[in-house]
Amino acid sequence: MGKEKVRISIVVIGYVDSGKSTTTGHLFHKVGGIDKHVIVRYEEESAEMNKYAWVLGKLKAERERGITIDTSLLEFETDNYYFSVIDMPGHRDFIKNMIIGTCKADCAILIIDSTAGAFEHGMSNHGQTHEHVLLAFTLGVDQMICCCNKMDATTPKYSEERYKEIVHGLSHDLRKVGYKPDKVRFVPISGLEGDNLTERSSNFDWYKGPVLLEALDTLQRPRRICESPRFPSVPGSKSFRLPLVPRFDSFRIPLLPGSNSFRLPLLDVYRTRHAGTVVTGRIEAGFVCCGMRLTFGPAGLVSGPVTSILHNETLVFKVTRGDDVSLSIGDTIAATDLRRGYVASDALSGDPATRVVGFHAYVIILDHPGQIKSGYTPFLKCHTARAAVRFHKILRKINRHSGEIIEDEPKFLQNGDVGFVMMIPTVPMAVESFSDYPSLGRFVIGDMEAVGVIQRVRI
């Protein structure tokens, strides 16, 4: 009996117009995921645009503007894995859509525009390459493949010198964010021409590494049963370290039996005639099976038993962490009573997801135009939830190098500061402490103004 394949979620990120949708669509075509007549139809509809990008362009606004706005999902398999590929918007206007998709991923494919000046612009203060990399790391995506795209448009074409220049510059940024460059695959490709996507191209005689499909097949198998809780040490202790960037995933302790109950942040809610209310999302902890009763925080609504589970378009009895699923819960809860950002949990576990009154969090200020004082109320994105949260009280300012407390109850925080803050949501919200449920305890403030982790919650 062969080894059972594991499903890995891949998020495709990168600066706007770097070729994300073109590369993803062409890869999907090469692995046999798109019929030839469909490609011909897209080509007829998009005479002035690339046909592979239009494979993912489902929204009318995307077709009119030529950029990705919503997230798109494709699926294919290799010798070792089943892959779900999420194509993310790169434009700053749609960063919240990117956050929702990135929080579901096990690995990121970073697409870089290798043409003259494009890579440098993406890495500048006006670009967003660094922002996307930092966002992926903060949201827990710990594996990355970097594709140097548009190598067919470099000067000269397929330039080895340009590839080495990008690898050197990007490695420095990845190391600063928290990734280990020696663990990251750098693959030169042409998403438009299909070079080095599934087969080795003769245009890259100087490149000896794996092509993109081979790099995907050699990814590390992600954990699936539970997440290991990670506990930052108490500030002021000798073991406490807060590096230049939020390497929150570096804190690990052994997994305790039963320490993670079922958690499913809702991505979408709808109703069907036969199944009643259906909720969709990615399981972030624990498992769910048919017959289990669910409760939905922060509303506290309790459903009837789960009547069916759809995973990869197949009805199954049980699913576990990492699976993207649709759960049918009948008509005990109306679809209009649930919304994106709610968290489903086991109603009988004794550890349900519930509304929090407030929470204490470590916050790193990255890019804020002025001073952040008590009372500041930005939008906060945590798992699939987005809500206005007030900085109720700044408790401490911390030295980001040594972890020592610089000042108690400082008057403000500004760029580069690390603070320990009491925060209060202005609307009902269900979040968790990072030590118990890491994926439900990381957050982003505004458009990457700050990032943080929840240290403890108040219920």
| Interval 108-136 mean pLDDT | 83
pLDDT interval class at 67 (50, 70, 90) = very low
366-412 tens-digit pLDDT: 878 889 999 999 999 898 899 999 999 999 998 866 678 899 999 99
Q: Which residues contact 388 (CB under 8 A, 6 or more apart)?
A: 377, 378, 379, 380, 425, 426, 427
Q: Which of 80-89, 114-123, 337-346, 379-388 has the lowest mean pLDDT?
A: 80-89
> What are the distances in angstroms from CA 270 to CA 169, 209, 294, 311, 347?
45, 45, 16, 16, 21
Quote the crossing angle between the two packed helices 160-177 and 129-138, to the nearest 10°: 40
Which burial class, exposed, middle or buried, applies to 91 when counting CB atoms under 10 A from its CB (0-12, 13-18, 19+)? middle
Chain centroid to Cα 242, Å, comes to: 22
Average pLDDT estimate for 307-336: 89
Query: pLDDT of 49-61, one tens digit each?
Result: 554 555 554 434 4
Residue length of the chain: 459
Q: How many helices (H) and strands (E) does the chain have?
A: 8, 23
User: What is the DSSP secondary structure assignment for residue 367, as one 8-state letter?
Assistant: S
Give 245-290 pLDDT, tens digit per residue.
333 333 333 333 334 689 999 988 999 888 899 999 889 889 999 9
Lowest mean pLDDT among 95-104, 189-198, 318-327, 397-406: 95-104
Give the per-residue pLDDT at 165.
Answer: 94
Token duo for residue 83:
């892959």
* Cα gap 84→8, rounded to integer Å: 6
User: Is the model's pLDDT at 94 over the cut of 50?
Assistant: no
How far apart are alpha carbons 421 and 364 in whole angstroms? 10
Say if residue 32's pLDDT is above 90.
Answer: no
Residues 6+ apart with CB under 8 A from 291: 305, 306
* Entry pTM: 0.64
Query: Residues 443-456: pLDDT tens digits?
Result: 888 877 888 889 99
Of 3-7, 67-71, 201-205, 409-413, the poorest mean pLDDT is in 67-71
